[in-house]
Amino acid sequence: RERLDGRPCRQRLLVVANRLPVSAVRRGEDSWSLEISAGGLVSALLGVKEFEARWIGWAGVNVPDEVGQKALTKALAEKRCIPVFLDEEIVHQYYNGYCNNILWPLFHYLGLPQEDRLATTRSFQSQFAAYKKANQMFADVVNDNYEEGDVVWCHDYHLMFLPKCLKEYNIKMKVGWFLHTPFPSSEIHRTLPSRSELLRSVLAADLVGFHTYDYARHFVSACTRILGLEGTPEGVEDQGRLTRVAAFPIGIDSDRFIRALDASPVQDNIRELAERFKGRKVMLGVDRLDMIKGIPQKILAFEKFLEENPDWRDKVVLLQIAVPTRTDVPEYQKLTSQDRSLDFHALCALYAITDVALVTSLRDGMNLVSYEFVACQDTKKGVLILSEFAGAAQSLGAGAILVNPWNITEVAASIAQALNMPADEREKRHKHNFAHVTSHTAQEWAETFVSELNDTVVEAKLRTRQ
Ligand code: ADQ
């Protein structure tokens, strides 16, 4: 492709994720207001300079009428976003049902929903059918917008069926798939009734990525044990075709956090908070309100610490920020909270004044809160207590205190260790983690994945020609 002035265009990257990075509010029959959310994925992809990114996904709103759909499509186009329209029934069965009630808990080792197991088993088939239907709808939109030479990057457990649908349209399409959650042990994955179909579909991609080497290994084992395919150091081979499988640990846009600390609203906020908690050490938890984040276990451990260390009772405070999410899913309604989302500047100020951050996820693909905390701590050099079941334990393990979040006694002891840690040890640990967080950024993550996807396809073509 060439531009009018004769210079070649940048290659296009179609990023397909369940949700578009926007929140859309309808203002009238044919008018919408849009706000781009500055999440990690958005800034990661802004950093990929060789590619021009387009987003494809659901806008998070039900738009049953054609006038509304047309107007939203037009408004989104200005933000380089392309909508997939899902009706309420599909969202209920695919998103709330199969994705968040079945795949999410299973991939985090929580099994299928405990009570009402029979009802879940009964609704399983219809939810899986809706899942496939929704994935096909995503594929249709990708296909309608695809131009030769584009690279397609599919994201997460919502879209495991997508690589297969895309390759059925066009075998030459370059397709990558990345999972943001853990991929569990093959023994867990094999309990899923649709285990083989999902694996086969993911294998249709050219490159499959995970946060850690362990997740990649679990995926390869699932393919060898469940499908009987051959696992190689490169990936999985099926009748001479190789699907490359590798680890691509995500990071954050660390500069954005470091820069924000100098902004005057953050400085004002820091002063206010420092005054409010004067004379006390601050411990912090920041999590989406989700059973995988281990918030009740964290509170129990803090309680135990206070019981065992009465001297600390009026000298330490634990701030736990929990944003309610997925409020349509019954399992999530049980975790009620009155907390709300914090704006970016308030979040940075909180990270900066914290002495000890407590990340006690029962399982977590990576956990970016731990990275964000480290990025904001270059002055204070606070301590990170981190679950060994978060992917981040593999990258920040040397600087953090690693804990088993199920072991309340161990977490309570780690709180004592963190609060009493001498300054030179805190500094040494922080330095290690800060170097990691600032050198393994979200931009680098996206760039590595996309360029490897491009190379993988070229290599495969060369191999077939030989
Ligand atoms: P999440 O489960 O959402 O992501 P995490 O990686 O910690 O978990 O990211 C959460 C994000 O939300 C952070 O950027 C954090 O700042 C923000 N956040 C949390 N609470 C907030 C609050 N109260 N107010 C404002 N912002 C808040 C999934 C996987 C992770 C994986 C990421 C990226 O579950 O394991 O690290 O995707 O791949």
Q: Rounded to whole angstroms, how far apart are CA atoms 363 and 110?
A: 9
pLDDT tens digit string along 161-212?
Answer: 999 999 999 999 999 999 999 999 999 999 999 999 999 999 999 999 999 9
pLDDT band at 51; cut points 50, 70, 90 = confident
| Minimum mean pLDDT range among 5-9, 94-98, 357-361, 458-462 | 5-9
For the full predicted model, state whether its pTM sits above 0.90.
yes
Query: Would the pLDDT of 459 be above 90?
Result: no
Query: Would the pLDDT of 103 be above 70?
Result: yes
pLDDT band at 337; cut points 50, 70, 90 = very low
Query: Would the pLDDT of 338 be above 50?
Result: no
Ligand 1 atom nearest residue 211's Cα: 38
Q: Which residues contact 278 (CB under 8 A, 6 or more apart)?
A: none
pLDDT tens digit string along 382-424?
Answer: 999 999 999 999 999 999 999 999 999 999 999 999 999 999 9
Encode burial over 343-356: b for 16+ CB neighbours within 10 A, e otherwise. eebebbbbbbbbbb
Q: At 140, which amino acid appears?
A: D
Q: Rounded to whole angstroms, how far apart are CA atoms 296 and 287?
A: 12
DSSP letter string, 147-184: -TT-EEEEESGGGTTHHHHHHHH-TTSEEEEE-SSPPP
Ligand 1 atom nearest residue 286's Cα: 20
> Among residues 186, 184, 180, which one has the least CA distance to residue 249?
180
pLDDT band at 124; cut points 50, 70, 90 = confident
Find residue 26's DSSP bridge partners.
32
Longest dimension (CA), the chain: 74
| Minimum mean pLDDT range among 8-12, 88-92, 425-429, 456-460 | 456-460
Beta strands 383-387 and 401-403 are parallel
> Among residues 320, 334, 337, 347, which one has the least CA distance to residue 291?
334
What DSSP designation does 279 have?
A: T
Ligand 1 atom nearest residue 252's Cα: 14
- Taking CA atoms, 423 is separated from 257, 260, 379, 381, 383, in Å, by 23, 25, 12, 8, 10
Q: 163: CA distance to ligand 1 center in Å?
A: 25
Q: 113: CA distance to ligand 1 center in Å?
A: 23
- Provide residues with CB under 6 Å of ligand 1: 40, 180-181, 250, 286-288, 321, 323, 341-342, 347, 364-369, 372
Select from 288, 337, 360, 372 the residue to mutate for testing ligand 1; criterion: most ligand atoms less than 8 Å from CB: 288
Average pLDDT, the chain: 91
Q: 199: CA distance to ligand 1 center in Å?
A: 26
What DSSP designation does 292 have?
A: G
Q: Token pair of 1, please? A: 């492709």
Q: Rounded to whole angstroms, how far apart are CA atoms 218 and 198?
A: 14
The answer to whether the Cα torsion of 318, 324, 325, 330 is positive or negative is positive
Q: Which residue has the higher pLDDT, 2 or 152?
A: 152
Query: Would the pLDDT of 3 be above 60?
Result: no
In the prediction, which pLDDT does 257 show? 95
DSSP letter string, 418-446: HHT--HHHHHHHHHHHHHHHHHS-HHHHH
ipTM of the complex: 0.98
Reading phi first (left if > 0) and then psi (alpha if -120 to 50, else beta), residue 60 is in left
